[in-house]
Amino acid sequence: MAAEIVRRSLKASNFSLLRNLTSLHTRCFSNLAESVQPESDVPSSSFTFSENSGDADSNYQRKSAIDENIFIKGPKKASSSKEADSVTMPMSFMTGSIVGKRFYQKVTTREAEDGNGWSVMLDYRTLKTPSKRPLKCPTLALAKAIAAEWEYQEADGIRPFTMPLMKLSCTALERVPLTRHKIIEYLMKKFPQDLVFCRAPGDNDLTSGVLERQVEKIDPLLKWVESEFGFKPTVHTSFFGGKQDDGLVSAIGSVLKKTDDCELATIDAIASAAHSLVIALGIFRGRLGIEEAIELIRLEEDLQVDNWGLVEGGHDVDIADLRVQIASAVVFLGLTRSV
């Protein structure tokens, strides 16, 4: 009985309708893939979508359903000559993913062709930024440091996350000149919520130890802010921040506006890692060292680690990552100022 019901149901099914629906969905997906995939003659490390694949005379492409399929093909070959005089890093360089295998043997530095700055050479190629601008370092010391980052790349792949000075240099050359106003505006927007302005409540046994540590470690930095800028900062217990004196806000904004591109890139990088513009300015003005800054940034978390223990693969990785971000920014700032 059951077999008979199944047989009748299958017989009554409209298979042509199912084929049409499937064909329609496949064609829509193919058109969508084409619309979001820009065409470019520049070789890319990613795959592209195309309706045509292989030899145009192949029997496979003569099938009527060819327009309903999506083919993945490799990157197009560059039409330029093999002997290129420069090398441009893809935009994925700024994301931290592995770009590709090491394609060079020797890394050197030389003065830029226009005499303004220093260039890094990968064999005979001049290194360029992801947007194809020549990477011109303001000092020879910075160029040699970036060259060292490229020199220590492994043969199996170029790892941008091991090249923080290269990333900061690209930021200073490309992002800061175009978005300087927005960077300063964002830093000042977050200023009232600065890490050093937030205090733990003192009427709770769970947070009383945190408050004592904050008073001991952070208060000296707040006194420096008052002496440096002429206005006393206001502390608060709200995560949403509190209003600071207009004179202090104006003084901080004036400092940021007077910075050059490399200095603003450094301050922005440190403030992002530290969640504190005050700590970034403390490093920028020479008030804080690397270890002092890290201690202030991790003050509350380190207290929790002291009480409950360190989670391997968690806290230790966070500490190492924070140390790299702060230290590389400090080194970058120093190298841009050296002769």
Domains of the chain with bracketed CATH: 164-336 (1.10.3580.10)
Q: Reply yes or no on whether the pLDDT at 337 is more than 50.
A: yes
Which helix (DSSP H) or strand (DSSP E) does residue 268 occupy? Answer: helix 261-274
Q: Give 316's contacts (C-beta < 8 A, 6+ positions apart).
A: 310
pLDDT for the residue numbered 100 = 82
CA angle 322, 244, 239 (to 5 degrees): 50
Question: What is the pLDDT, as a whole number, of residue 57?
Answer: 45
Instruction: Report how far residue 107's alpha carbon sits from residue 92's, in angstroms, rounded to the nearest whole number.
Output: 21
What is the rounded CA–CA span in Å between residue 150 and residue 132? 18
Measuring CA to CA, how many Å separate 267 from each of 107, 166, 260? 29, 16, 11
Distances (CA, A) of 38 to 32, 68, 73, 78, 252: 12, 20, 14, 16, 43
Q: How far, in Å, are 19, 86, 125, 150 from residue 105 at the CA level?
A: 55, 15, 11, 10
Quote the pLDDT of residue 242: 83
Confidence bin at 8 (pLDDT 50/70/90)? low
Distance CA 100, CA 122 (A): 15
Q: pLDDT tens digits for 199-217? A: 888 777 777 788 889 999 9
pLDDT digits (tens, 9 = 90+) for 67-106: 433 333 344 444 444 445 666 665 555 555 788 889 999 9
Alpha carbon distance, N-terminus to C-terminus of the chain = 93
Distance between CA atoms of 49 and 54, rounded to whole angstroms?
13
Bridge partners (DSSP) of residue 119 are 110
Is the predicted pLDDT of residue 198 greater than 60, yes or no? Answer: yes
**DSSP letter for each residue of 152-217:** T-BTTB--GGG-HHHHHHHIIIIIHHHHHHHHHHHHHHHGGG-GGGB---SS-TTTHHHHHHHHHH
Q: Is the CB of residue 270 less than 8 Å from the CB of residue 326?
A: yes
Residue 130: the pLDDT is 87
Continuous segment of H or E residues that includes residue 50? strand 48-50
pLDDT (0 to 100) of residue 339: 58
Residue 123 DSSP label: T
Say if residues 128 and 88 touch (Cβ distance below 8 Å). Answer: yes
Q: Would the pTM of this model clear 0.95, i.e. be above it?
A: no
In one-letter notation, the amino acid at residue 175 is R
